[in-house]
Homo-oligomer: A and B are copies of this chain.
Amino acid sequence: MEIVEQYNLNIDGDRLWQRLMAMAEIGATDGGGVNRQALSYEEHHAWRQLIEWAKEFDAEPFIDAVGNLFLRLPGENPQARPILIGSHLDSQPQGGRFDGVFGVMAAFEILQTLATSQLPRPRDVVAVAWMNEEGSRFAPGMMGSEVFVGKRDLAMVRSVCDANEISVGEALDTQFAAFPDLLPSSPGFPVHAYIEPHIEQGTRLEQANCSIGVVTGIQGKLTYRVRLVGVPGHAGTQPMAERRDALMAFADIAVHLQKEIGHYDECIKLTIGHLNVTPNVPSVVPQAVTFSLDLRHPDNAVLKDRGMKVTELIQAYSGACRVEVKPLVVAPSNDFDESLRGYITKCAEHRGYPVMPVLSAAGHDARYLAQQCPSAMIFIPCRDGVSHAEHEWAEPKHVTAGASVLLDVVVTLLTQLVPANEESDE
Q: From residue 234 to 259 of chain A, which have CB atoms closer than 8 A to chain B?
A: 234-241, 245, 247-248, 250-252, 254-255, 258
Kindly state whether residue A92 has any CB partner on chain B within 8 Å.
Answer: yes
Name A134's closest neighbour in chain B (CB-CB): B283
Given contacts A237-B387, A294-B235, A361-B236, whether A281 and B272 have CB atoms under 8 Å apart is: no
How far does the Cβ of A6 sit from chain B's closest Cβ, in whole Å?
A: 39
**In the complex, chain B residues whose CB is within 8 Å of the CB of A277:** 273-275
Are B135 and A282 in contact (CB-based, < 8 A)?
yes
Are B269 and A236 in contact (CB-based, < 8 A)?
yes
Name A200's closest neighbour in chain B (CB-CB): B237
Contact indicator per residue, chain A 266-291, by CB within 8 Å of chain B (1) or not (0): 10111111111101111111110000
Are A285 and B266 in contact (CB-based, < 8 A)?
no
Q: How large is the interface on A (under 10, 10 to 19, 20 to 34, 35 or more residues)?
A: 35 or more
Are A282 and B136 in contact (CB-based, < 8 A)?
yes
**In the complex, chain B residues whose CB is within 8 Å of the CB of A272:** 247-248, 286
Choose from B266, B282, B286, B363 the contact partner of A239 (Cβ within 8 Å). B266
Query: Chain A interface (Cβ within 8 Å of chain B)?
Result: 92-94, 134-136, 139-141, 200-202, 219, 221, 223, 231-241, 245, 247-248, 250-252, 254-255, 258, 262-263, 266, 268-277, 279-287, 292, 294, 296, 360-363, 385-389
Can you list 22 A-B contacts (CB < 8 A)? Answer: A94-B232, A135-B281, A136-B282, A140-B282, A219-B236, A223-B282, A232-B389, A233-B387, A234-B361, A234-B388, A235-B296, A236-B360, A239-B266, A241-B266, A247-B273, A251-B251, A252-B255, A255-B255, A272-B286, A273-B285, A274-B280, A274-B282
Per CB-CB distance, the 4 closest pairs between chain A and chain B, nearest first, are: A251-B254, A136-B281, A235-B271, A282-B292
